[in-house]
A and B are shown apart, each in its own frame.
Chain A
Amino acid sequence: MISSLSTVLSPVLAVEIPYWGQTSLRVLGGLVAILLPAGGLVYVYLFKMMSFMQSRLGPMEAGPYGSLQLLAEVGKFLQKEDIVPAKADRLVFLGAPFVVLISTFLLLLAVPFGPDAWFVDLDTGVYFAMAVSSVSVIGILMAGWGSSSKYSLLGGIRAAGQLVAYELPMILAVLGVVIQAGTLNMNEIVFAQANGEIFGFGGIGNPYILTQFVGFAVFLIAIQAELTQPPFDMPVAESELVAGYMTEYSGLRFLLFFIGEFATAGVFSAIAAVLFLGGWYVPFLEPEHNLYNVLGPLVLMAKIFGVAGLIFWFRFTYPRFREDQLQRLAWKFLIPIALVNIVITGVLKVVF
């Protein structure tokens, strides 16, 4: 099995990259693929779009048009003291942000950036993504419990209840795509969309948002809830729980939670883009073309920003749900809709 990166780089560098070199390149690529979208999302949406929607300018001082504000924020958090509460369960408290981050990094593994530009070509791509996304719940519960604070504990329990509830509609929404593509492999799902035809017209492929728009809507709502962002931010509701499971965290570890939230937003947007918008594929260019190994990541990045734009638009627009409304939405509304979507997709798959 030839590795992705050596396939991409060998013609350029004319050398066979050793195993350790490939692994280091993968780690480096992973860091870039996590931090670049996360930073971009924070600046474009959290700093600027939110400010404009609230009739203000947002950060303007650091760098041209406030573009270096993010670095200033990171510098600020790094300088702050990393406080551990006296009665906290030390190891659990210290480890929690890393468990959340590990979940995000593992999630990235399944995302393809081009026909040969992937981290690991997983047969079980989508399934793997759904599985590792559920690991972050353990990190949040660790943070909530280890802090030894009532706000943290309540926030952690609320977060766990919410994440477990919204994992189901998320998985069920994805199933429609899997049935239609006939594979779990994310790269093959992209190929299935690129080679698809709409009533015999194959020019722009067949992005699954056209047939799976119900799944796309359910998936977007579910990832919004998975990110514990408004309107699903009961776990970190500042008016009643200070900051929920993050209350006792400061300095670097708070920064890790913060990066984790926006990196997860980026990776989930990437997964939504791959499943419903055709991933790295652009219309009118053959999916086998070698250009995609360079163009693919850029296309995917654009699609990530498109999907994330929707997520953050909802975030800045809607007021917070009450806890019972939030659970009712998941169990009584989204899950039945997703199930009906699966049944209809299955029937149509057999008929056509």
Chain B
Amino acid sequence: MISLIAQITTGDDLLVAQNIFWWFFALVTVLAGIKVVTTDNIVHAALYLVIVLAGVAVQFVFLGSEFAAVTQVLVYIGAIVVLLLFGIMLTRGSLGDDQLVDTERRGMGALVALLLFGLMAFSLVDGFEDVVLPEDTRNLIEVEVPIDTDIDDDEFIRTQRGSDTAAIGDTIFESYIVPFEAVSVLLLAALIGAVVIARKE
């Protein structure tokens, strides 16, 4: 994935293709996002959500962060939307439009969405106003990789090429180990809590 991006950014004429695809995926994502909230069919809404989440994953690829893109697919598409669809189909398998989806609290929802958009847009613009992505996103993160001098030159290059995946692993288990463990315990507690509530006999 990253190698594809590196390829795209090397020539000037190929950057055009990258831009075209960026706009294509951005438009698809936004249109699918609008359809999620306007469609009357709850299963269709969940399937449009898949397109939105896949579009976000594509944007991560364009930013050169492969790990975030794959995580997006695994967690959101592979787990959350599947559970969502599973739940919908177990509880109501009716085809066609569902009147319950269209509620009267539209105004409130729009207000919350607008506030959230404003907040996130402000913080993003404020935080990353002057940041420009480098030409080659592969070398975005400098990593120290242990150099094994026993191996041949070819292999040497292979292990020396730093990856953002390795960098993310190192940061999680070095700088952010306490928050990571706290979140793990929190999720475990939620899991056990759900089991306890569901098994009330």
Contacts and interface: CB of A to CB of B under 8 A. Distances in A.
B36 interface: no
Given A1-B138, A160-B85, A92 B6 contact: no
Interface in B139-170: 151-152, 154-155, 158-159, 163-166
Interface string A108-144: 0000000100001111100110111011011001101
Interface in A131-183: 131-132, 134-135, 137-138, 141-142, 144-145, 148, 153, 156-157, 160-161, 164, 167
A272 B91 CA distance: 37
A266 B93 CA distance: 34
B201 to A, nearest CB: 18
Nearest to A88: B95
A184 to B, nearest CB: 6
A124 B66 contact: yes
Given A153-B89, A191-B158, A3 B7 contact: yes
Contacts, number: 108
A302 to B, nearest CB: 25
Contacts of A127: 67, 70-71, 74, 165
Contact of B86 (A123, A157, A184): A157
A128 B77 CA distance: 13
Query: On chain A, which size bracket covers the interface?
Result: 35 or more
Interface string A238-269: 00000000000000000000000000000000
A184 B165 contact: yes
B66 A137 contact: no
A185 B77 CA distance: 22
A188 B7 CA distance: 21
Nearest to B11: A19
Nearest to B3: A1
Q: In terms of DSSP, what is the predominant structure of the interface of chain B?
A: helix
B163 A123 contact: yes
Nearest to B75: A131
Interface of A: 1, 3, 19, 87-89, 92, 115, 120-124, 127-128, 130-132, 134-135, 137-138, 141-142, 144-145, 148, 153, 156-157, 160-161, 164, 167, 184-185, 188, 191, 195, 288
Interface of B: 1-4, 6-7, 10-11, 14, 43-44, 47, 50, 66-67, 70-71, 73-74, 77-79, 81-83, 85-86, 89-90, 93, 95, 138, 151-152, 154-155, 158-159, 163-166
